[in-house]
A and B are shown apart, each in its own frame.
Chain A
Amino acid sequence: MSEPHSRTAAWRAQHAAAFAASLGRLLRRPFSSGLSLGVMAIALALPLALGWSLLQMDQFASRVQASRAIHVFLMPDAGVAQAERLADGLRADPAVAAVRVKTPEQGLREFRASSELANAVSLLGENPLPAVLVVEPSADDERALVARLQGLPGVEFVQHDGVWQRRLQAWLGFGSRLLILLGAVFALGAVLAVANNIRLDIATRETEIAVLQQLGASDAYIRRPFLYAGGLLGLSAGLLALAILAAAAAYIQPSLLDLIGSYGSGFRFAPVPLWLPAAVIAGAVLLGLCGAYFAVAHYLRLTRPVDL
């Protein structure tokens, strides 16, 4: 037997033949391939949708985090002068980065600008809003500062979003872990969907595999077309999952923006990072390859005589 004339050309020929055979088989079994593709795409799209939601929540949370101000509402009878005195005292506190006094007039103007109840307030005749100290904490944990502010003379109420922010962060952390967990479970589902498709393909090609083994085909040679099939399924499923996600986001975004806009928020959706589609497709191809590899390896292990 003569040596191969060109190893590269031979390698290319082997891969081209395996790729063409795999593509042909997938297209000849549209129903079976479509089922596997659909299952895999949905398994990828669900964690992707959760990830997208988390991304938007994170965007929202970072906007909230940017404003860590503590609002100190004074008694209605406390005047601006008392507010200024308290502010001066607080500026000496190392836990305070900045203090701003918001007079009742300023408060009313803001209230009128942002609330539909402005007319109702006008009917009251006099300004019901108290003076407010807007305190920017300097430390990460502002709970001690909040306690001190609550004990200041003339203070009626301290509004601090820190607890709410921490809860939001905790939810985001929980969501991230859930995403990892669901991602792993759905990834396993995707692998199993591909493995099942490849298993069915193997079942229809047992005679062919036996002939190839008789002719000296290695396990790698036999595995190759199935790996291509798994990779193609993964690629198609990744693209389909992205398309599902894009369609769902396009469908939901307008109504969600309307809803958020009705609360007077200037929130905008975070753009999807450019690397994400590439990562999704690469991950989907990898999952497809894994499913195919396991299915073929299992078959070869079962059918190989022990002493060969």
Chain B
Amino acid sequence: MTLLRFDGVGKTYPGGHRALDDMSFSVQAGEMVFITGHSGAGKSTLLKLAHLSERPSTGAVWFDGKNLGGVRGKQVALHRRRLGVVHQDHCLLLDRTVADNIALPLLIAGLAPAEIRRRVRQALDGLGLADRAAYRSTDISTGEQQRVGIARAMALQPALLLADEPTGNLDPSLAADIMKQLVDLCRQGTAVVIASHDLSLVKRMKKRVLVIDKGRLMDDISPEELADE
């Protein structure tokens, strides 16, 4: 089932910078897709369009069969509750504990307290953060903050997880662990779109790769093609 579809999407920012140009691709439910390209290639813009943090200048973004161009007002919040987002800068609430940060999207989504506690515990265990649950976000390392951001996105068990350089601050073994968890999440039906310029990671994962350059889709490499390489 197609979950996310970009249909001739272009994005020009105020000032004239064209970040994306005629971008077309689709992502299936349960699929993991890497988006690679140099800095400024348009990776983050692509994620923002799917998240509805930005609107396309041309074309349309479709999510779960719905054109996001028609999603306005309260519907934007409802759309975002179906997504998990991992930001480059973590976007944690620094005056809250690790557990509270992970619980945040679950609370917003209106899950029952018992379910929130269960999922937070699961996420803490899965990301190796169990002993950091009661720590404030300011009292943990950058790498741990990164993991909290990932745990927060995964705990929601979203339909689509968007991750911008999710393993940028992590050592290779930890990055591998987290990628394994993301693969497990895909198996449960979540589509995962990861923007990364870590080519070694991308090659190691052997998943579908979209290569973009200067806002244009240059290549769409399937896992099989990557395996052959």
User: Which residues of B have CB within 8 Å of A307?
Assistant: 55
Q: Does A279 contact B (CB under 8 A)?
A: no
Contact of A4 among B82, B92, B109 (CB under 8 A): B109
Tell me the A1-41 residues at the B interface (CB within 8 Å).
Answer: 1-2, 4-7, 9-14, 17
Give Cα A4 to B81, complex, Å: 13
Contact of A215 among B72, B85, B113, B114 (CB under 8 A): B85
User: Which residues of A have CB within 8 Å of B53?
Assistant: 214
19 residue pairs of the A-B complex, CB under 8 angstroms, read: A1-B82, A1-B109, A1-B158, A4-B111, A13-B116, A208-B93, A211-B93, A213-B80, A215-B81, A215-B85, A216-B78, A216-B105, A216-B108, A218-B78, A219-B77, A221-B108, A307-B55, A308-B55, A308-B72
The 6 closest A-B pairs by CB, nearest first: A216-B80, A216-B81, A5-B112, A10-B110, A6-B112, A218-B77
CB distance B109 to A14 under 8 Å?
Answer: no
A201, chain B: closest CB distance, angstroms = 13
For the complex with contacts A4-B110, A4-B115, A211-B91, 12 further pairs of A-B residues with Cβ separation under 8 Å are A1-B81, A1-B109, A1-B157, A10-B112, A14-B110, A214-B53, A215-B80, A215-B108, A216-B78, A216-B79, A217-B108, A219-B77
B179, chain A: closest CB distance, angstroms = 22
B52, chain A: closest CB distance, angstroms = 7
User: Which residues of A have CB within 8 Å of B85?
Assistant: 214-215
Contact of B77 among A6, A7, A12, A216 (CB under 8 A): A216
Contact of B112 among A13, A217, A218 (CB under 8 A): A13
A110, chain B: closest CB distance, angstroms = 77
Q: Does B17 contact A (CB under 8 A)?
A: no
User: Which residues of A have CB within 8 Å of B92?
Assistant: 211
Q: Does A212 contact B (CB under 8 A)?
A: yes
User: Which residues of A have CB within 8 Å of B108?
Assistant: 212, 215-217, 221
Q: Across the interface, name the chain B residue whose C-beta is closest to A5.
A: B112
0/1 string, B84-110, CB within 8 A of A gives 1: 010100011100000000001101111
CB distance B111 to A5 under 8 Å?
Answer: yes
Contact of A10 among B77, B111, B152 (CB under 8 A): B111
CB distance A13 to B82 under 8 Å?
Answer: no
CB distance A2 to B77 under 8 Å?
Answer: no
Q: Does B159 contact A (CB under 8 A)?
A: yes
Q: Does B83 contact A (CB under 8 A)?
A: yes
Give the bracket for the number of chain B residues in contact with chain A: 35 or more
Q: Does B9 contact A (CB under 8 A)?
A: no
Give Cα A212 to B91, complex, Å: 10
User: Which residues of A have CB within 8 Å of B51?
Assistant: 214
User: Which residues of A have CB within 8 Å of B107?
Assistant: 10, 13-14, 17
Q: A211-B91, A211-B93 are in contact. Are A216 and B109 (CB under 8 A)?
A: yes
Give Cα A211 to B124, complex, Å: 20
Contact of A5 among B82, B93, B115, B152 (CB under 8 A): B115
B99, chain A: closest CB distance, angstroms = 13
Q: Does B156 contact A (CB under 8 A)?
A: yes
User: Which residues of B have CB within 8 Å of A308?
Assistant: 52, 55, 72-73, 76
User: Which residues of A have CB within 8 Å of B158?
Assistant: 1
A160, chain B: closest CB distance, angstroms = 69
Give Cα A92 to B92, complex, Å: 92
0/1 string, B45-78, CB within 8 A of A gives 1: 0000001110100000000000000001110111
0/1 string, A195-225, CB within 8 A of B gives 1: 0000000000001101111111111010000
Give Cα A207 to B137, complex, Å: 14
Give Cα A178 to B152, complex, Å: 57
Q: Across the interface, name the chain A residue whose C-beta is closest to B158.
A: A1
Tell me the A82-103 residues at the B interface (CB within 8 Å).
Answer: none
Contact of B113 among A2, A10, A207 (CB under 8 A): A10
